[in-house]
Structure 1
Amino acid sequence: MLRTTLAVLLLLSGSWGLAADAPLEILEAQYGYLPKDEAKAAQAKTVDVTAKVKSQLKDGHLRLEVTNARFGDPLPNYGKTLRVSYKLGETERLILVPEGETLLLPVPVLKGPLKVRKAAYGDHDSGSVYDVTDDVKALVNGRTLKVEVTNDRFGDPASGVFKALRVEYSIGEIELAKTTYEGGTLVIEVPEEPSTTTPAK
């Protein structure tokens, strides 16, 4: 019997080399509040979004932003996570993607320069946003982008409404997007590329 391997991957925390021709199959997807503390596991509240995730599978690849707008909000005012069980070839894997991040399957090897393509701050549901692309581009520091999401930094395009910063960016040829809500800190870090230097004997 073929023994499968279960791996837990956190997107953007590293890289994972995969065979490009291995078939991708979505087994199950859940979205909602998943406490990191095992003592609070009983407080978890999720909804089954398997069909929604499967519908985004195209030519053996999956790319989607993890948002309440796409999956609904099973527990307001709590940070949520998309949990996807999938099969790549004969290997079963599990991936956890935080709300606001982008899910890419197969998980690519992320390497190359970090470039901000577009950034907007405000109420994205109503369209009341400011284009803050130039401001965010100026904050890129080599392989890292870190910015506090506040009205003091970006202004207030929608007074009295809870706002968010959405950044479209690329790492090498891979296009991604990330959303962070007002009061939080948006952090994007490009994984260090393996050294090719041969140690001196």
Structure 2
Amino acid sequence: MTFGSATSAAAPVPEPPASVELSADSAHRLARTLEPAEWSAAGIPLLRNPREVVSDLHTRHRPAPATAVVAVLDPDGRLRASASFSGRTTPTDGWVLRNALLAQLRRIIPHDLRRRTPVRTAVLLYCRAGDARWTQEDGAWMWGLRDACTLHGLRCGAYITLTRDGWHVLGEGRGGRRPNAGASPEAFAGTDPPAPRTGGAASDVLRRAAAR
């Protein structure tokens, strides 16, 4: 026995248009992003010496466009560990970027989830094309950084873009012309030899201590 009106019983059920699915997916991606005002209101700790942090990371990792550098600072603001990796995803999704950041953090430094209050801070330097103005991609990175820090027991620190115009700390209004996306580390940092692309001054020591 079939229920329904005579005009609709034999008609096939129409499938949802593809645009509806795409719109829903876009909505989810937009929910995993942070606007500049949200980032500024989140109480992100200020870098004590952003120029020093940027130049150090630039010298160590030599980031090209679409390269992300995640670093962990100790309570005194000194670099403890860092890693660089290709950061481009299509389409940009904060959830995907969060997972990539979390994987790198797990490689380079033990988590601090046993602490009641985080003492170490993770910062992110992202080298990309374009100028220093905020983009949706930046918003996805900021969402990913904040979430990865929560899952690894770290404080969420600064998000820094590196473009052809120089470096810029989003939400702080601080920046400089050097280094930039086209500058060589040697030209900016003298003759210091580049450090490995993964790790930092004490990452190996911290890993051995955590294993005991």
- Calculate the TM-score normalised by the size of structure 2: 0.26
Whose helix fraction is larger, Structure 1's or Structure 2's? 2
Which structure is richer in relative contact order (CA contacts within 8 A, separation 6 or more)?
2
- Calculate the TM-score normalised by the size of structure 1: 0.27
Which structure has the greater CA radius of gyration? 2
